Structure 1
């Protein structure tokens, strides 16, 4: 994997297989201590099961990889410690919400979350609910995360056919543009109304990105790289 690359692909082939992860097994005590410290900072995070990837291949408009199950504590330690196992990557789906006036719509993560203050499109680390017939269902994951975080459903947007796979270090953001038939301010107002009805929403604010000047340091590089490419193509 390169430090930064964007691959546009039409198909995904993401098998889920039972694979032992030596990092998680050999450093279990350290991982547990690290997670306990993170829970003291943010008691709402929990050690659920997630899926990480390995062996990514981009070829002829196609992306293939193998995913395996691990616990969130191991993922968090691997991420926080600078990705000590370079053979593993975090590959997740993102719904790039685009309003009818061209504004991209992003959410700011709440202070109780593991990514507090970060601004990006609705997404989430894949978990066991995203597995269908032995494969990772990234399109389904995107639909689920969009609805959970914003209240928007498949009836509210039209998904582009292709995926923009943004590779940054040990992350691959599998991004699909979702076009909404309403302007940016209307989208923001609708999502904010949905957040107001939630007891503990994941998002604390909604941001509209209409140009390069709207990019901020709190947006991950995979988001800003995607936005830069989109605006350059206009």
Structure 2
């Protein structure tokens, strides 16, 4: 159970080899009561939370542009306890960001809905890895990205030009795998499409789209991990 990768740097990733292991996550062992009590408190503040399955890292390393790790399926309640007491040596979070890029080079993020665990926060549409995101027990970041972006915004990543390679950025307790997807529409046109999609949803996950036009254009509520990704994009905007 180790985490061996440079922190606070954007890193190139030519291969993602994060695999799902059998059995309970070491972080959860002996914490059943603590998990249950914390979940009861979380739900008392936000009854909309759902205790579904997700993947939590047990190890992750970056060497020779390869991201290699292991994870276990846990309940969301386990993750919420981890999030409250992090950092811990036995677990970290890994998730994926598709970065939608408009024809005008502006970026499309989203502000999360009031009923979500990250209410009001701004980041690229995303969600934790779930069991369905694994193929032969190996995570498929594109599938996760396409699923989450489609569910939250209605945008179809398969209609965009995907950058060939992934990148990652790792901070204390968490690593984001990301890739840019360039659309033919402007960011404003994409945002209007998302607003229509959200308006038609019975229980939308997001409040609405957020257009980011520069690294100095980050709105209130932007998650801390977003800044290095946005700065990297505008510093490398001609690379796709």
Structure 2 length-normalised TM: 0.92
Provide the residue aligned with 2:51 in structure 1: 47
Provide the residue aligned with 1:108 in structure 2: 111
Indicate conservation of the 8 Å contact 1:107/1:122, yes or no: yes
| Aligned match for 2:81, one of 71, 74, 77 | 77
| Aligned match for 2:89, one of 67, 86, 97 | 86
| Aligned match for 1:4, one of 5, 8, 16 | 8
| Aligned match for 2:163, one of 141, 160, 163 | 160
Provide the residue aligned with 1:59 in structure 2: 63
Deviates more, 1:99-108 or 1:33-42: 33-42
Provide the residue aligned with 1:147 in structure 2: 150
Residue 51 to residue 155, structure 1, CA distance change in 2 (3 Å): closer
In the alignment, does 2:24 pair up with 1:20? Answer: yes
CA distance in 2, matches of 1:22, 1:62: 24
Indicate the SS of the match to 2:222.
coil
| Aligned match for 1:175, one of 172, 175, 178 | 178
CA positional deviation for 1:58:
1.2
In the alignment, does 2:71 pair up with 1:36? Answer: no
**Count of aligned pairs between the two proteins:** 233
CA distance in 2, matches of 1:232, 1:136: 29
Residue 2 to residue 19, structure 1, CA distance change in 2 (3 Å): farther
Deviation >3 Å, runs of 4+: none
CA distance in 2, matches of 1:8, 1:165: 7
What are the Cα deviations for residues 178-212 of structure 1, in whole angstroms up to 9, with x where unaligned?
A: 11110011000001100110001000021111112
Indicate the SS of the match to 1:225.
helix
| Aligned match for 2:208, one of 202, 205, 211 | 205
Indicate conservation of the 8 Å contact 1:168/1:221, yes or no: no
Residue 67 to residue 211, structure 1, CA distance change in 2 (3 Å): same
CA distance in 2, matches of 1:154, 1:188: 15
Indicate conservation of the 8 Å contact 2:27/2:90, yes or no: no
Q: CA RMSD in A?
A: 1.5
CA positional deviation for 1:135:
1.2
What are the Cα deviations for residues 73-127 of structure 1, in whole angstroms up to 9, with x where unaligned?
A: 01111111223x2232111111101101010000000010011111000110111
**Structure 1 gaps, min length 5:** none
Provide the residue aligned with 1:131 in structure 2: 134
Indicate conservation of the 8 Å contact 2:25/2:58, yes or no: no
CA positional deviation for 1:167:
0.4
CA positional deviation for 1:51:
0.2
In the alignment, does 2:191 pair up with 1:188? Answer: yes
CA distance in 2, matches of 1:198, 1:109: 14
